[in-house]
Structure 1
Amino acid sequence: MTRPRYLPGDLAVWLLILAELAVFALLFVGFAVARAFDPATFAAGRAELHPGVGLASTLSLIVASYLVATATVGYRRGRDGTAVRLWLALLVSLAYTLGKLWEYGQLYGAGYHLGSDTFFMFYFFLTFFHFLHVVVGQGVLLALARKARRPWQDDRDTNAMESGACYWHMVDLVWLALFPLLYVVA
């Protein structure tokens, strides 16, 4: 007999995720429209970015998402190692955080900021908004790792673990759209 399918996590978290994705989608559309009206400014701005840092950030978030996914499956099945995988995900995700802070420092030192031009207004707003979501997600991973260390309880409630994992995957998904939009697409 097959188990009925269900939406992982809490409905409120899914509503939050959908709202956040809608905000990011509007910002992406604004970016695309502005780029269509001034491609030279956007090409010049993109040339000042550090694509190696962007790629390293992408890889760190993908690896962290893999670790979160395997931790969630392990937690659901009552296996050991959930907390370790979540701690590793948090550690790996710090490469994104540190890389983004380094890149902000480099750009700011070169004289770029929100008011430099339209490209940098979008770049700093989009990436900092995403950065804040990553930091919140790292806090969620920390809380989940601490929860996973506790002895198993009979009910094995997975709602918090699945909700946190869904939020983290949303953060990763947004970056997978942001990286090519900012660093790659002409």
Structure 2
Amino acid sequence: MNAEPHHTAYAEPDLSRDATTADEESPADWGALSALPGNPLMWILILSELAVFGAFLAGFAGARLMQPELFADSQAQLSRLFGGLNTLVLVTSGWFAALAVRNRAEGSIGRARVWLAAAGGLGMVFLAVKAVEYGGKIDAGIGLETNTFWTLYYLMTGFHALHVVMGLIVLAIVGWKASLENLETGAAFWHMVDLIWVLIYPVVYLIR
């Protein structure tokens, strides 16, 4: 009597499970934002903040068209030296943040933290110069309610100074948790702070 052939059991792979696992492990698709350095959520924040400051600058330009003489007289009381100095300070600080990212990409966490600390130090210099500028205006009796120019000036530059403070906190956090993605994310926010000031300076201090 012939023995029946022995059939080896064959379990089909669970393709649905493998696909689910792959989906969980793959990063979320953020479209064009996925190609940018750092966390895509930070870029969403950056774009929203740029829109807010864009509205501020558009409002300032519109108010100047309606009150050109008042804006020219008020602008003449601003210190272009202080504004220019702070522009140089922030642009240099942004360069230092970029160097921090480059050094981290090359594997040098220590150097990255040094450059990040230098960027933060210049951020504090910016705030110190702005405090001196505010103090001089307040001593001269120029405040938020003096006229439309000064209302917009204090709102825009004060809101920007708040972003500088936030940026310093971000730099401190990414310096502590110094992965490459974290540094890219923090540097992206800091570059936004630089860019906004580079736009504010000519519009508020220079253009008549």
Structure 1 length-normalised TM:
0.90
Percent identity, aligned pairs only, is 38
The letter of the residue matching 2:52 is: V
Structure 1 or 2, whichever has the larger Rg, is 2
Rounded Cα–Cα distance in structure 1 between residues aligned with 2:121 and 2:134: 20
The letter of the residue matching 1:85 is: W
- How far residue 141 of structure 1 moved from its aligned partner, in angstroms, is 1.5
- How far residue 6 of structure 1 moved from its aligned partner, in angstroms, is 2.4
Partner SS state of residue 97, structure 1: helix
- How far residue 77 of structure 1 moved from its aligned partner, in angstroms, is 1.8
- CA-based RMSD: 1.2
- Which residue of the partner structure matches residue 17 of structure 2? none
Rounded Cα–Cα distance in structure 2 between residues aligned with 1:108 and 1:52: 18
Stretch moving more, 87-96 or 162-171 = 87-96
- Which residue of the partner structure matches residue 6 of structure 1? 35
Q: 2:117 aligns with which of 78, 83, 87?
A: 87
- Which residue of the partner structure matches residue 29 of structure 2? none
> Contact 2:175–2:183 at 8 Å: present in 1 too?
no
Structure 2 length-normalised TM:
0.81
The letter of the residue matching 1:60 is: V
Rounded Cα–Cα distance in structure 2 between residues aligned with 1:58 and 1:145: 24
Stretch moving more, 118-127 or 79-88 = 79-88
Q: State the Cα deviation string for residues 40-82 of structure 1 (Å, max 9, x = none).
A: 1111111111111111100110110000001111112212411
- Which residue of the partner structure matches residue 51 of structure 1? 80
> Contact 1:67–1:89 at 8 Å: present in 2 too?
yes
- Which residue of the partner structure matches residue 151 of structure 1? none
Rounded Cα–Cα distance in structure 2 between residues aligned with 1:67 and 1:147: 18
- Which residue of the partner structure matches residue 102 of structure 2? 73
Q: Find runs of 4+ consecutive structure 1 residues off by over 4 angstroms.
A: none
Rounded Cα–Cα distance in structure 2 between residues aligned with 1:26 and 1:140: 25
Of structures 1 and 2, the one scoring higher in RCO (CA 8 A, sep 6+) is 1
- How far residue 146 of structure 1 moved from its aligned partner, in angstroms, is 2.7
Superposition map of 1:94-113 within 5 A = 94-113=124-143
Rounded Cα–Cα distance in structure 1 between residues aligned with 2:122 and 2:62: 34
- How far residue 172 of structure 1 moved from its aligned partner, in angstroms, is 0.2
- Which residue of the partner structure matches residue 159 of structure 2? 129
> Contact 1:113–1:121 at 8 Å: present in 2 too?
yes
Q: 1:142 aligns with which of 154, 172, 176?
A: 172
Q: Residue 163 in 1 paired to residue 185 in 2?
A: yes
- Which residue of the partner structure matches residue 18 of structure 2? none
Aligned length: 174
